[in-house]
Amino acid sequence: MRILICHPGRLWPAALLVLALIGASAQSLAAPPVQTAMNPDPKLAQAEAAANRIVERFHQTLKLDWIFADEFVRDDRLRARALSLDDEEKWKHFDLPTRERLYVALMTWLHLWAEYPLVQKGHDVPPEFEKQPEPKLFSHSAPPRTLAELNQDISEFDRMSVVYRKYFPPGVFQSDQYRESIKPGAENTKSHSSNVPRIEKGNSKFGIPETVPVYIVRPEAFDYYFIEENGTMKLFYVNIMPDFRLF
């Protein structure tokens, strides 16, 4: 049985609390913002452009595997933390390419899950999944212990993503339903009530010193966290519940 938590406009699976709490921890350990949309920095515009590019390409392909070649951070240490959901101890027995495969499968499914209620009415998830449990990875506190177990988790996410993609026909992101669905979020962001976009001084959760600016923007449902690498904005973290509050 799935326990659902009320969130404005949608019911959220309680299993995603794990990722939400990780996100809350990442935010709580960040230094106070030094720049916001009310006091813009040109670098924020670059981060917003990078985030919009990611979303647009996802709308075209409904996949995120290309992100690691084009948009994801290259720094080895930060990349390792990001691909481990900042819990390297639990994932240290898997090499980075293996963690990357899981991360891509997970994030692809999460983006499809977030987009689904924006393109149709009547369901929070596809009918095929309404009476099914959450993905196995979310239903157990312990991560997979063997490569075979991890591959099963990846396959589960991939199978679910295949089903979700059936509900995204060509042109769906130009539909009236989609345009109406994203209006509240866009207005919320425009009013700055969610404090995005903004710049923070580093992030200790990810080992980023305060001398390094972190750029946070919200192109759609999620907050994307960027740092600048060799003059280019690179994504290192996706907060899937940016306005989540436990109490």
CA 58 – CA 75 distance, rounded (Å): 24
| Number of alpha carbons in the 13 Å side-chain half-sphere of residue 83 | 24
Q: pTM of the entire structure?
A: 0.81
Cα 241 versus chain centre, distance: 8
The series of mean pLDDT values per 10 residues for the chain, 247 residues long, is 36 46 49 56 93 94 87 92 81 90 93 92 85 68 84 93 95 92 72 76 92 94 94 93 58
pLDDT of residue 3: 28
- How confident is the model at residue 88, as a pLDDT? 78
Which tokens hold the place of 79? Answer: 């990349």
Domain-wise residue ranges, the chain: 4-239
Distance CA 62, CA 57 (A): 8
Q: Which two tokens stand for residue 96?
A: 């980075």
Instruction: Using alpha carbons, select from 33, 75, 2, 61 the residue that is nearest to residue 223.
Output: 33
CA atoms of 115 and 220, how far apart (whole Å): 9
